Chains A and B, each alone.
Chain A
Amino acid sequence: MTAPTSSATTTAGLREAEVFSRYLVGREASPALCERYLRAISVLNANPCDAGDAWALGMAIRWPWTIGPLDAACALRHPGWALRRRLVLLSAILEASTAHTDDYMPQRRGVGSVIAVCVVEGVAAVVNLAMGMLLLASAPREARA
């Protein structure tokens, strides 16, 4: 597959960056960061390589509520799929920007607060994984082949 080129694909790509950024850090990345993300996809060729891969990416962009579950399922089962690669790529771009420093800097918290974060996020991660595995199982036959 080739990198996005036309203005329609660029607009779709920018929207993808916004949606993914909302999932990763709870708000939209600036246009400059979204454009950096598009360039990174093209340089690293982070495009789907089979039908299942393309299905997961398309699903996550069309139904943003599925990003967390599909990300969790890909992390475990398909770390090389474009969805996971693009999310890692955007994480890297957000982290290496002044606008999102606090989203990635180590945080000092009290012991109780650390435990609370680990429990809450751990449970959420398990729920995400369960839903993601169900989503993968419900993918159309050609995407599962």
Chain B
Amino acid sequence: MSDVIVIGSGAAGVCAAWPLVQRGLRVTMIDVGVTDQGAGAMIPAEPWSKLRRSDANQHLYFLGERFEGVPDGKVRVGAQISPPRAYVAADAPRLLPRDAPGFVGLESVAQGGLASAWGAAVSPWASEDLAGLPVTLEEMKPHYDGVAELIGVSGQAGDDLSAHLHDSPSMMPPLEMDTPSRAVFEAYLSRREEMKRAGLALGHARLAACSREHRRRGPQPYHDMDFWSDHGESVYRPRYTLRELLEAASFESVTGRLATRFESHASGVVVQAVDLATGRGERFEAAHLVLAAGALGTTRIVLRSLGKLGVRRPLVSNHSPYFPMLNTRVLGKESSDRRHSLTQITGFYRPGGAGAEAEPVQLQCYSYRSLLLFKLLKEVPLALANSRRIFQALTPAMSVLAVHHADEPSAEKWVSLEADEGVTEAGVPRDRLRIRYEATKEETQRQHRTEREVLGLFRRLGCYTLHSRAVRLGPGASIHYAGPLPMRASPGEMECDGECRLSGHPRVRVADSAVFARLPAKGVTFSMMANAHRVGTLLAGEIGGGA
């Protein structure tokens, strides 16, 4: 019997398992664990511009063998998930059924989960972001630092972002900015005091990406292929931690299993799972259970295990529109081919200016190139022959700004598990997650007002766009979810305590973002990983492992 079962091999699962395995505890990780079936392996380790000119097989990974990389219909959530990464979202709709009209969120049953395709932007929360949670920044700091060391984080220590983000001691120098973003950043630096007074702070992107060699990964090759391949392993993927975990004799990974429910007793836990190859049920026993199946996946398992069908639980998800911008400062300028594809600039904007009380929004500035021109042309309501020539000339001067808003729970944002008797042929329970998510009019108006203010400041930096041209993919599109099993000082039913123990089930802990009652504008993943590391560390302390 294991000491601990961890369900899920995503960012939360591997970070929770890490301190447990470091302490020599026997850990079994149960996961569906879908993996890449080949498209990624056929990409040569060359820069994007070289592959475009020389690789006769490029259509196989840029478009996919079945042309799955050619989007049909409206732009959808996860549009940046390329054919070699399609496995990340594959199978989830079948194994994790959902009835969620209007909610476009993604789930994953892949090895490494959603972070196998993530954008790697990391934003540690500050004290104000942790307000209301029964954990302080002081308690979180060692875990932010531990995770930063584990995954490799780069950024500029002591820059204007440091007022919003805590710098980890192991932070590597930032990745190089590409030419269009450098022009925006230089414009910001030349008007820095004015911008700071207006509430805007910009800096080099904080990324879970190695700018130098770190834990046998990196450095960043600057091939502009980060949406397609993992050559150089600069950008963090949970499978790298999984690889390290597998080196320990006390760690075991069991894949091809869909965990369906748990029972917890005074002396241990039993997890029921389906072997997806045979459709047969299986039981796993351990002293403790850590749930890390993604905020929605974990909620499904908890509600099913507790028999709470039809009970509404709160759900939050950041609203994150994208604005394509014309960056006039680089029109006609030479652009370097050496670049990475991830966010180039991280920023914060506090409505009302530097001293104001309002909560800041987070900004991410990207360039558009490696995702290919045809995807952009498809969205432009012009004849393709004309738009091709226009955008061939304009793309070197195009930037994309993402604005991430904080999200609060409300009566119109909830998730429940709806009963449906029996199982499918594959042994998968037929119940469905039902999601309803509607922001209030006031929330939406406030967000639009803030976005207009941000765009006004970016105009002063030479970047032009129209607020009406925003790409809004709908609720859930940020792929950041939280809220159903919140962590509270005095937890009620279906809530967790300050150490993320599920109320009434002291041997069951939740390590993913289901425990955060609200979401600040800063991306949730890094804080979730730090919290998962804290959960694993506290549990290791409680069990009292050897080494």
Contact = CB atoms under 8 A, between A and B. Distances in A.
Interface of A: 23-25, 36, 40, 43-44, 68-69, 71-72, 75-76, 79-80, 85, 87-89, 91-93, 95-98, 101, 103-111, 113-114, 117-118, 121-122, 124-125, 128-129, 132
A88 B71 CA distance: 9
Given A24-B385, A95-B372, A110 B332 contact: yes
A108 B383 contact: no
Contacts of B56: 97-98
A92 B331 contact: no
Interface residues of B, number: 44
Interface string B210-252: 0000000000000000000000000000000000000000000
Nearest to B62: A96
B70 interface: yes
A111 B327 CA distance: 12
B384 interface: yes
B59 A96 contact: yes
Contacts of A71: 383-385
A122 B369 CA distance: 22
Given A97-B59, A98-B54, A104-B372, A44 B385 contact: no
Nearest to A95: B374
A39 to B, nearest CB: 8
B388 interface: yes
Contacts of A91: 373-374, 377-378, 384, 388
Given A109-B393, A118-B390, A75 B59 contact: no
A76 B59 contact: no
Nearest to B73: A80
B372 A113 contact: no
A36 B67 CA distance: 10
A103 B388 contact: yes
Interface string B321-342: 0000000000111110000000
Contacts of A110: 332
A85 B72 contact: yes
B393 A114 contact: yes
Contacts of A118: 390, 393-394
30 contacts: A68-B385, A71-B383, A71-B384, A72-B383, A79-B378, A79-B381, A88-B377, A88-B378, A88-B384, A91-B384, A91-B388, A92-B67, A92-B69, A92-B70, A92-B372, A93-B63, A95-B374, A96-B58, A96-B372, A97-B56, A104-B388, A106-B335, A106-B373, A108-B334, A108-B335, A121-B390, A122-B386, A125-B383, A125-B390, A128-B382
B466 to A, nearest CB: 16
Given A97-B58, A105-B392, A118-B390, A89 B67 contact: yes
A108 B53 contact: no
A88 B386 contact: no
B63 A105 contact: no
A95 to B, nearest CB: 5
Nearest to B60: A96
A60 to B, nearest CB: 11
A63 to B, nearest CB: 15
Contacts of B381: 75-76, 79
Given A101-B53, A109-B393, A121-B389, A24 B58 contact: no
Given A75-B383, A109-B393, A43 B67 contact: yes
Contact of A106 (B66, B332, B384, B396): B396
Nearest to B398: A106
B22 interface: no
B52 interface: yes
Contacts of A43: 66-67
Describe A's contact surface by its main secondary structure. helix
Contacts of B389: 117, 121
B465 interface: no
Contacts of A95: 62, 372-374
A31 to B, nearest CB: 15
Interface string B302-336: 00000000000000000000000000000111110
Contacts of A93: 59, 63
A21 to B, nearest CB: 11
Contact of B52 (A36, A89, A105): A105
Contacts of B369: 106
Given A23-B385, A96-B63, 16 more contacts: A25-B388, A75-B381, A75-B383, A88-B378, A91-B374, A97-B56, A98-B54, A103-B392, A104-B374, A105-B392, A106-B335, A107-B393, A108-B332, A124-B386, A125-B387, A125-B390
A40 B62 CA distance: 14
B373 A24 contact: no
Nearest to B368: A106
Interface string B26-65: 0000000000000000000000010011111011001100
Given A88-B70, A98-B58, A107-B393, A121 B372 contact: no
A44 B53 contact: no
B380 interface: yes
A93 B387 CA distance: 17
B255 interface: no
A36 B59 contact: yes
Given A97-B58, A108-B335, A117 B383 contact: no
Contacts of A76: 381
Nearest to B377: A91
